[in-house]
Amino acid sequence: MSRAEKLAEALGAKKVGTGWQAKCPAHDDQTPSLAIAEGNNGVPLVYCRAGCSQESVISALRDKNLWHPHAMNGKHRPAGTPIVPIPSDAPSFDWKHPKFGAPVATWTYYTKDGGRHHIRARCDYLNAKGKKSKAVLPISYCKVGVDESTWAAKEPAGPFPLYGVLDLFTRPNAPVLVVEGEKTAEAGKLLLPEYVLLTSAGGAGASHKSDWSVLSRRNVAIWPDADEVGAKYAISVAGHARGAGATSVGIVELPASLPSGWDLADPLPDKLNYQEILATARSPSEVPGLIRYRDAGKQVFPDYVIKPLLERGGLMTIVGAPGSGKTYFATDLACHVAAGREWFGNKVRPGAVIYCAAEAGKSILRRIDAWARHHKIADVPLFVRPAPLDLRSSGTDTVELIAHAQQVTAIGRPLAVIVIDTVARALAGGNENSSEDMGALIQNCERIQRETRAAVVLVHHLGKNEARGSRGHNSLPAAVDVEITISKRVATITKARDAADGTRFPFGLKVIQLGFDEDGEPIESCVAVAPSDQGLSSQSAMALEALKSAITIGGQTFQPAGEASRQVVRENAWRTQFYNHQKWSDNAKPESKQKAFVRARRDLQKRQLVIIQEAWCWPSDPDTRTSPGQDPQCPASPTGQGTHPQRGVPMSGAVA
C-alpha cells in the first residue's frame, strides 16, 4: 500500500476518481474538503478546498502522526531537500508528472564547476477546455528521508546558473547572445554558432533569480521574442548584464514584419537575414523603461505622418454628425497618406493605410474609387477591411487586425495609419457612455498602436449637444492626441498636442461619376475637396465659412416658397462674421473690407453656393438629390457634363 493510500485509509477518506476526499484535520470539517492524490513514488499530495493553508494542514496531520518528512504538499513539491550538485551516482532521470505524464523535453542546468544543478522539464497536456497547453517544471534530485533520495518536482534554492554557462567558460572570447527559453537557446546554437547562447531559468518573469555575474567583461546582445513580454525580458536582462559589468550590452531591434510571438526557434520570414537583424542591437537606457536627462534631446524630433498633426503611434478622432461628411474627410486623409501627397497644406510622410469600414461596408470602395479618379492616381498602398469589428469584448479582432498590419508591412511600405470607422461599430454593441466599454476600446487601440507603430484614426459621432463634443464617455477625448470636429463642411482642430487648436479646414464634396448601373442610371460618389479644388478664392471660401458660422450663432427659421424651412441670417450678420473671420492689415479701410465681401458674395451666388432671397441668406443645400447609385451624402451633380450612353441626353459629373 502506498503512503497516499495509507494516509487516506487513516483519515477514513472516500475514493473519488484517482484520489480521495477526507475531512480536513485543520478545521472543524463537517463536509469532506481535503483532497488527497498520489504523487511520485506513492507520496501523498494534500489540498484543503475550504481554504486552510498547506502549513496548517500538514501541522494537523503531523500532530496525528500521519505526516512524514518524505510526504509532499498539494503543490507537487516534496518536503525533501534538493541536492546540489546532483551526485554523479544519482540514478538516470526517470520522472513523470502525476497528471501530465512524462516530459516531452528536458534541459540540464550546470554549475560553474561542471556539475549538474537541476533539470527543467516540459510537459504537454490538454487543459480543462481541451486546448493544448504546456508546463515547464523544475526537477531536482531530492533527499526525502534519512537514507532515501529521488527525482522530484522541486526548485533548488537560487540563484540559478544560466543555461549554457559551460560554453561561456570554454569560449572566453566569443560574443554572448541571450534569448528567452531553453528551446530558443538550442535553436540559436545552430543558427548563430559564433555566439555563446544563454538563457535564464523560470521564464521571462524570473530573470532576477539567476546569477548574471558570469557576464562580466563580455560583449552581450539580447534577442527578444516578438511580443511585449519578450521586450520586457530583454530590458531586464540588459539591466542584469550592466550590473554584472558587461563590456557592452545591446538589444536587437526586431523587424516590424515579424508575427507576434515569433522567436529564434521559429522560421525566419523570407527576405530577412539573421546577421542583419543582429546588427541592429543597440544599447538601452541605463535604467530600464526610463529616459535619462542627457538623452532627452534624442527624443525631440517626432515621427510625423501628417506634420504637425499626427505622429506614428498617435491617436486621432474625426468627429461629426451624420451627413457631415466625416467619412469622406477620413477617406481623403487616408488616401493622401497612402499616396504621400500634402493634405490641406500639411506635409505627409507616405505609408500604407488600412481602412476598417465597419459602418460604411463596401460603399467605402466607391468613395476610394472616386478619389482615385479625381486625383488620377492608379494605385496606392491602401487596404480596406469591409467587415464588422469588435474592439471591446474580444481580443480576437484586435489580434487579427495587428496580424493584417504586419502582413501589409511585409508586402509594401511600412504601415502609417489605421482608420476605424466608426467608434460605435467598433464597440460591437457596447455602451458608449460606459467607462468600462470605452476603456476597453481605448486599451485595444493602444495595443494596436504599440504593436504596429501606426497612427490610429477613429471616426466618431457628435453628441446631441454639438457644443459638448463627441458622443459617449469622456475618456475617449481625454485619450486622443488630436481631435478634429466637422460641422457644416468645416473641419476644426478642437484638440491637438502639437498643432494649434482652432485651425480650420473648409472643404466641399465634389460629385464623381464612376459609371452606370444595369438600368443606365449613373453610379456616383463624392470626394472631399479643399476650396481651391472647387475653384474658390481664399476670400470666397472664408465668406462661405463665415455664413455658416453666422447661422450657427444667430440663425433664424425661414421657409422659401415651395421648399422646406431652413436656417438663415440677414446679410449684415453674415458681413460681420466675414469681417471677424478675415485677418486685415492695421490700415485696412472700411471700404476695402466692404468691397472684399461684395466680391466674395457675388462669386458664391454665381456658383450657386449661396442663396439670397427676401434679404435672407443661406448656403445652398447640398443634399437635395440622391439616385440609386449615388452616395446619400453627395450633393447633386451639375448637369451638362457628359452624355448618357443609351439615351444621348446630358448627364452629370463625367470625369476623365
pLDDT the model gives residue 376: 92
Tell which residue, 116, 104, 45, has the closest CA to residue 77: 45
Identify the helix (H) or strand (E) that includes residue 110. Answer: strand 105-110
pLDDT the model gives residue 432: 92
Q: How far is CA 621 from CA 363, 547, 548, 636, in A?
A: 23, 13, 12, 9
In single-letter form, the type of residue at position 30 comes to: Q
pLDDT the model gives residue 620: 75
Q: Does residue 446 sit within a domain?
A: yes
Tell which residue, 486, 383, 364, has the closest CA to residue 425: 364
Residue spans of beta strands (DSSP E) within 562-625: 566-570, 610-613, 616-619
pLDDT the model gives residue 586: 74
Q: Within this chain, do residues 569 and 497 fall inside the same structural domain, yes or no?
A: no
Q: 421 near 355, Cβ under 8 Å?
A: yes
| CA 191 centroid distance within chain | 31
Task: Tell me which residue range forms the domain holding 188.
Answer: 165-292
Please list the rounded mean pLDDT of every run of 10 residues in the chain (656 residues).
84 90 87 86 82 81 72 48 92 85 93 93 85 88 80 88 94 95 95 95 89 94 92 89 90 89 89 87 61 66 87 94 89 95 90 91 88 92 92 86 87 87 92 92 93 94 80 92 89 82 82 82 84 68 87 89 84 92 77 90 85 88 37 45 32 26
Q: Does residue 525 sit within a domain?
A: no
Domain boundary among 35, 63, 91: 63
Q: Within this chain, do residues 232 and 313 fall inside the same structural domain, yes or no?
A: no
Q: Give the span between the Cα atoms of 139 and 151, in whole angstroms.
A: 7
Q: Give the span between the Cα atoms of 394 and 182, in whole angstroms.
A: 32
Q: Does residue 485 sit within a domain?
A: yes
pLDDT the model gives residue 73: 47
pLDDT the model gives residue 199: 97
Q: Give the span between the Cα atoms of 512 and 385, in whole angstroms.
A: 23
Q: Does residue 635 sit within a domain?
A: yes
Q: How far is CA 183 from CA 68, 152, 434, 465, in A?
A: 38, 22, 44, 59
Give the three cell numbers for residue 140.
Answer: 531536482
Q: Coil, strand, or helix at residue 591? A: helix
Q: How far is CA 275 from CA 186, 251, 410, 655, in A?
A: 18, 14, 19, 51
Tell which residue, 300, 26, 43, has the closest CA to residue 154: 43
pLDDT the model gives residue 588: 78
pTM above 0.85, yes or no: no
Q: Within this chain, do residues 229 and 337 fall inside the same structural domain, yes or no?
A: no
Q: Give the span between the Cα atoms of 147 and 144, in whole angstroms.
A: 8
Q: Within this chain, do residues 403 and 275 fall inside the same structural domain, yes or no?
A: no
Q: Give the span between the Cα atoms of 404 and 419, in whole angstroms.
A: 13
Q: Give the span between the Cα atoms of 200 and 183, in whole angstroms.
A: 12
Specify which residues 120 forms β-bridges with: 107, 138
Q: Within this chain, do residues 105 and 50 fall inside the same structural domain, yes or no?
A: no
Q: Does residue 537 sit within a domain?
A: yes
Q: Within this chain, do residues 287 and 407 fall inside the same structural domain, yes or no?
A: no
The pLDDT tens digits for 359-373 are 877 789 999 999 999
Specify which residues 357 forms β-bridges with: 421
Show Cβ contacts of residue 430 under 8 Å, excluding neighbours closer than 6 positions: 392, 393, 437, 438, 440, 441
Q: Does residue 524 sit within a domain?
A: no
Q: Within this chain, do residues 235 and 308 fall inside the same structural domain, yes or no?
A: no
Q: Give the span between the Cα atoms of 346 and 307, in whole angstroms.
A: 6
Q: What CATH number corresponds to the domain at position 279?
A: 3.40.50
Q: Within this chain, do residues 491 and 376 fall inside the same structural domain, yes or no?
A: yes
Tell which residue, 638, 604, 398, has the closest CA to residue 524: 638
Q: What CATH number corresponds to the domain at position 376?
A: 3.40.50.300
Q: Within this chain, do residues 100 and 175 fall inside the same structural domain, yes or no?
A: no
Q: Within this chain, do residues 124 and 191 fall inside the same structural domain, yes or no?
A: no
Q: Within this chain, do residues 313 and 397 fall inside the same structural domain, yes or no?
A: yes
Give the three cell numbers for residue 559.
Answer: 421657409
The pLDDT tens digits for 157-206 are 889 999 999 999 999 999 999 999 999 999 999 999 999 999 999 888 88
Q: Does residue 76 sit within a domain?
A: no
Angle ∠(606,609,612) on CA atoms, nearest 5: 75
Domain boundary among 257, 272, 292: 292
DSSP-derived letter for residue 607 is: T
The pLDDT tens digits for 385-424 are 998 999 998 678 998 999 899 888 877 678 999 999 989 9
Q: 451 near 256, Cβ under 8 Å?
A: no
Q: How far is CA 591 from CA 106, 587, 588, 602, in A?
A: 91, 11, 8, 16
Q: Within this chain, do residues 325 and 406 fall inside the same structural domain, yes or no?
A: yes
Residue 355 has phi, psi (to 5 degrees) of -110, 110
Q: How far is CA 539 from CA 318, 507, 551, 580, 584, in A?
A: 26, 14, 18, 12, 12
Question: What CA dihedral angle connects 451, 269, 237 and 395, to 10 degrees?
Answer: 30
Q: Coil, strand, or helix at residue 613? A: strand
pLDDT the model gives residue 627: 35
87 backbone φψ class: left, alpha, beta (φ>0; ψ -120 to 50): beta
- Give the count of domains, the chain: 5
Domain boundary among 240, 263, 292: 292
Show Cβ contacts of residue 383 under 8 Å, excluding neighbours closer than 6 positions: 352, 353, 354, 355, 404, 408
Q: Does residue 297 sit within a domain?
A: no
Specify which residues 318 forms β-bridges with: 459, 484
